[in-house]
Structure 1
Amino acid sequence: MRDDPRRAAAGSASPTRVEPVPGEPAATAAIGPERALLVADYHAGYESGLRDERGVDVPSRAPDRRERLSALLERTDPDRLVVLGDLMHSIGDPGGAERGELEVLFESFASDLTVTVVKGNHDGRIETWLAERDAVEATVDIVPGEGVALGDVGICHGHTWPSRAALESDVLCLGHEHPCVRLEDAVGGSRVERAWLRGRLDPAAFRDRPEYEGVSWLERADQSPPAAIVVPAFNDLVGGTWINVTGQSFLSPFLPSGLAGGEAYLLDGTRLGPYEGV
């Protein structure tokens, strides 16, 4: 019997619900009176990056990415789209096909949509041009990679330690890791699937950092730590961390040590259990 991660994602002790969209690398969340759609690691222009960096010629999937996100927006009807970092792929200023992909994407957004972009390690100087595009009718906010709190939901990219405000939320959502599991069958065949990774923050990983002094759940044993949800990459080409393979290094500075009781779920909702034993 499948265990629905939509019930487990935020943890039973948390009033905040972050609900994965079945079959998709995206989640919805209630942020005050707003309904938000959360995605991570869009990596616009990735195919161009493959050509420039590795000499690999891959046809652009920009239209497919845009259509998938547009379908998700129509399906979930959010007030706000939250991108948990790495909206773009280049480290510096976006150019050529990458900038064109982003411009067409943002021009497709409805005027009443608010877009919050957490600045990831691949997002370069995105704040210098995206929020000021004349053809973009949506409201666009760029926030630092360490993240912010939106209502009771903390958001960050994951490549740095989270902000205090994000850490004090009911649930912390992040990207960056591109979590995947490698699944093997009885005859030795294997495949790699994108996965959700969820658990609770482990106080031991955060307690000695001076910027978190006074955070209540770090000092009170009777207070449950926030839930933590690592969102799978929206871009299905980018690969990621095989979280169930021994010797794989996590990318985030606070993972895996900062995650207690981490469990993995496939996009279709299948619960795999503790990620190390999958």
Structure 2
Amino acid sequence: MIPNSRAFNLKHQRLWLLPQHALYWQKKKTLLVADPHIGKTSHFRKNGIAVPDDVAESNLDNLDTIIELTDPEHLVILGDLFHSDINKEWKQFIHWRKGYSQLEVSLVIGNHDILETKNYHQGIINVFKKLSINPFLFVHDINALTDQDKNKYIISGHIHPAVQLKGRGRQAMKLPCFYFGQQYGILPAFGGFTGTHVIEPQEKDDIFIIADSNILPARQLNS
């Protein structure tokens, strides 16, 4: 068992939800992350916005941690691997990638993945618009799906889902979450310098909140 993780059964598959904002598919030995947004800090700094320079390194450190914990054969990134044009953070990622030459890496293209295909090939990265591994279809944005795509259970990123918890008085906080509805699921953003979007779950949805390095069912907090 992976420390502080939570098992979740979906479509007869055992999935492990990790507090590092990642999902491990046990049967396929596949690690999934969404929205790393590598390069975002350098992009903001280039435009005169002060952002700590160590955010990019912490993203790669987190990848190191969960790869060591799960020992996957395949890393699937659900879009927005890189946030900007080529900068030093992309070079850091390429250097990191060389340390995991035996790991298959696949990228489902997101709206921020604007690099030329040759750059992804330099990082030995498979590139897909959509990636189907039964019983799931992996995409970046559920809003870009066709009716035919909806025949499978969809797992995506893009939205950076979060829930808002309200306390006494006007106390409130937003916490990132894993969302699993009846037809699709959404992973939390992996990147350490990303915003969140508060979702409004339905009664039958499964929501798991990331709080203090723990995975907690939203129903448990609301009971």
Q: Could you say which TM-score interval applies, normalised by the shorter chain?
A: 0.7 to 0.9
TM-score (norm 1): 0.68
The counterpart of 2:188, out of the listed 207, 227, 232, is 232
The counterpart of 2:21, out of the listed 21, 25, 31, is 25
Deviation at 1:44, TM superposition (A): 0.3
Q: Deviations over 1:121-146 (max 9, x none)?
A: 00003423121x2xx5xx521001xx
Deviation at 1:5, TM superposition (A): 5.8
Q: Which amino acid aligns with 2:186?
A: V
1:38 counterpart SS class:
strand
Deviation at 1:64, TM superposition (A): 1.0
More deviation, 120-129/36-45: 120-129
Task: Specify the alignment match of 1:78 in structure 2.
Answer: 72
TM-score (norm 2): 0.84
Matched, 1:143 2:128: yes
The counterpart of 2:32, out of the listed 28, 32, 38, is 38
Q: Which amino acid aligns with 1:158?
A: D
Matched, 1:59 2:56: no
Distance 2:167 2:61 in 1: 33
How large is the Cα RMSD of the aligned pairs?
2.6
Distance 1:150 1:128 in 2: 25
Q: Which amino acid aligns with 1:25?
A: H
Deviation at 1:17, TM superposition (A): 2.9
Distance 1:72 1:165 in 2: 34
Distance 1:242 1:236 in 2: 17
Runs of 5+ unmatched residues, structure 1: 202-227, 245-255
User: CA 1:183–1:236 in structure 2 vs 1: closer, same or farther (change >3 Å)?
Assistant: farther
Q: Percent identity?
A: 24
Off by >6 Å, runs of 4+ in structure 1 = none
Count of residue pairs brought into register by the alignment: 214
Distance 1:102 1:68 in 2: 13
Distance 2:17 2:149 in 1: 20
Distance 2:87 2:164 in 1: 35
Deviation at 1:199, TM superposition (A): 1.3
Matches within 5 A, 1:46-195: 46-53=40-47, 55-60=48-53, 61-90=55-84, 94-109=85-100, 111-131=101-121, 133=122, 136=123, 139-144=124-129, 147-158=130-141, 160-162=143-145, 167-169=150-152, 171-195=153-177
Considering fraction of residues, name the structure with more strand: 2
Runs of 5+ unmatched residues, structure 2: none
